[in-house]
Amino acid sequence: MSEYRIQGITGEWEVVIGLEVHAQVTSNAKLFSGASAAYGGEPNSHVSLVDAAMPGMLPVPNRECIRQAVRTGMAINAQINKWSRFDRKNYFYADLPQGYQISQLYHPIVGEGEIEVILDEKDANSPRKTIGIERIHVEQDAGKLMHDQHPTMSYVDLNRSGVALMEIVSRPDMRSPAEAGAYVKKLRSILRYVGSCDGNMEEGSMRADVNVSVRKPGEEFGTRTETKNVNSIRFVMQAIEVEARRQVDLIEDGGTVVQETRLFDPNKLETRSMRSKEDAHDYRYFPDPDLLPLELDDAFLEECRASLPELPDAKRARYEAMGLTAYNAAVLTAEAETAFWFEDLLAERVDPKQGSNWLLSELFGALNRLGKSLEESPVNPKQAAELLGLVADGTISGSISKQVFEIMLETGQGAAAIVEEKGLKQTSDTGAIEAEIAKIIAANEDKVAEYRSGKDKLFGFFVGQTMKAMGGKANPGVVNELLKKALDQ
């Protein structure tokens, strides 16, 4: 990838980035209780006795959360640890009812893996880079404090308390904001393919702690800071940019970077110190005595593996082999939603090339215009296949299909019905076409003369005129053939 350098007064600096991504596991229930893990809901409406840490309550692992973590690990080609264990991370805060978070420090469920990222997916020649993943562990989320409910007190909402998170820890392998952005994007895509996390950063189901340090290229790692809870890809990139700049300025000013936790303020585009290492917590991690070690058997692992879908890289390669352009294959597979939509289209026996071109230009163009996402598309793959089928079998022309699609978007009607109702069927009626051609030749004698004297380019003009006269419904092949005959005589 292109080298990202920060220009300082003492020369160029390189940024070193590692990310800890917290991804909420998709499951109905929380990690250790039966309470709903759904987003939203009235405050404290998704809280069991366990989540509220009532006296004598005990955690029981939710098998589905474990399964999702294992599947995620498999999707990044990581080592799955058949023996793992939960630890308690002890600290006091009002959003943490137990006074400890159940996490996995010493023996995480997933070990080393990796993700290949493409800096620019639209560029088939964009260099690729492999980012190492150190581990994935599962842990409980905390609740939420609400500071705006009372003049002097804070309220606590425990709906999120105990929801399962995967913490996906990368190696410090990234060297630019763009690489970090591409990594988060790819990771989110994999999670969505696997179905282990919805990747919804706005709702907080995915957020990143960004570790940043700077160094002169080739030198040892510098001291890093950790910017917590960054909740969009754009913010991740911005936070890196401003934090790296801050560190360079600080060092060049004669200061030293201190290892600390920072917060990113997207409005002011700056990071601010949250707490330094000196007043960092001593979390007193120790194995949770309420839980037995997690032991996974081969049958369970096999089931996890068998349930994995085709992943982005494999899908992209398959699409290219089907004859799609590298660009189309990359864009179709980058986001799970697009890939799944396209798969549904293929399932309706649409020609891959026709389908991918239509999806990426017509449908995406329309959605862009309407300000809608693919999930909100007014036209579903089955309806799209009907439309494309009418083009493929010559019932309507490509240009008419655009008209039909517009009506579909507006009315939700089916393509065939629209074509029928509006009489948009393409015609190969040579008599009707020949009659129009005769009129056009008569009306444009000068142009006919020019054409016949060698100005071949005018042929397109006659095609256009004929199609226009036919209301766009003439079969272009037939028009071409008849025009040639008429003009060349």
Partner 1 sequence: MTDLTKLGVAAIRTGVASGEFNAVEVAEAFNANVAAAKALNAFIVETPEKAIEAAQAVDADRAAGNPLGKMAGVPIGMKDLFCTEGVQTTAASHILEGFVPTYESTVSANLWKAGAGMLGKLNMDQFAMGSSNETSYFGNVISPWRRGGGDNAALAPGGSSGGSSSAIAARLCPAATGTDTGGSIRQPAAFVGISGIKPTYGRCSRWGVVAFASSLDQAGPMSRDVRDCAIMLEAMAGFDPKDSTSLDLPVPEWEAGLNSDLRGKKVGIPKEYRLDGIDEDIAAMWDNGIAWLKDAGAEIVDISLPHTKYALPAYYIIAPAEASSNLARYDGVRYGLRDLPDGAGLQDMYAATRAAGFGAEVRRRIMIGTYVLSAGFYDAYYTQAQKVRALIARDFEAAWAQCDLILAPTAPSAAFGLGEKTSDPLAMYLNDVFAVPASLAGLPAMSVPGGLDKQGLPLGLQIVGKALDEQGVLNAGLAIEERAGFTAEAEKWW
The residues that touch partner 1, with contacts defined as CB under 8 A, are 49, 52-61, 88, 90, 92-94, 97-100, 154, 156, 282, 284-286, 289-292
Output the six-digit token pair for 262. 């920072």
Least separation in angstroms between CB 353 and partner 1: 54
Q: Are 34 and 28 in contact (CB under 8 A)?
A: no
Q: Which is nearer to partner 1, 97 or 113 (by Cβ)? A: 97
Owner of token pair 């581990």: 135
Cβ neighbours, 10 Å, residue 311: 19
d(CA 355, CA 338): 12
Three-state DSSP state, 145: strand
Q: Which is nearer to partner 1, 82 or 402 (by Cβ)? A: 82
Least separation in angstroms between CB 254 and partner 1: 31
Three-state DSSP state, 387: helix
Q: Which is nearer to partner 1, 58 or 317 (by Cβ)? A: 58
d(CA 209, CA 197): 17
The C-alpha torsion from 391 through 393 and 396 to 400, rounded to 10°, is 10
**Helix, strand and coil in the chain, % to nearest 5:** 40, 20, 40
d(CA 190, CA 312): 7
Least separation in angstroms between CB 153 and partner 1: 9
Owner of token pair 């226009």: 468
Least separation in angstroms between CB 33 and partner 1: 10
Q: Which is nearer to partner 1, 144 or 215 (by Cβ)? A: 144
Least separation in angstroms between CB 90 and partner 1: 5
Output the six-digit token pair for 314. 């494999």
The DSSP output letter for 354 is H
Q: Where are the alpha helices (DSSP H) in 44-143?
A: 63-75
Q: Which is nearer to partner 1, 90 or 325 (by Cβ)? A: 90
Least separation in angstroms between CB 49 and partner 1: 6
d(CA 48, CA 214): 45
Q: Which is nearer to partner 1, 78 or 156 (by Cβ)? A: 156
Q: Which is nearer to partner 1, 98 or 247 (by Cβ)? A: 98
Q: Which is nearer to partner 1, 87 or 167 (by Cβ)? A: 87
Least separation in angstroms between CB 88 and partner 1: 5
**Which run of H or of E encompasses 331?**
helix 326-334
Least separation in angstroms between CB 390 and partner 1: 57
Which are the contacts of 314, defined by CB distance < 8 A and separation ≥ 6?
Answer: none
d(CA 161, CA 255): 40
Least separation in angstroms between CB 84 and partner 1: 14
d(CA 379, CA 283): 52
The DSSP output letter for 283 is -
Q: Are 102 and 59 in contact (CB under 8 A)?
A: yes
Least separation in angstroms between CB 103 and partner 1: 13
**Cα-Cα end-to-end distance for the chain:** 60
Q: Which is nearer to partner 1, 49 or 322 (by Cβ)? A: 49
Q: Which is nearer to partner 1, 98 or 238 (by Cβ)? A: 98
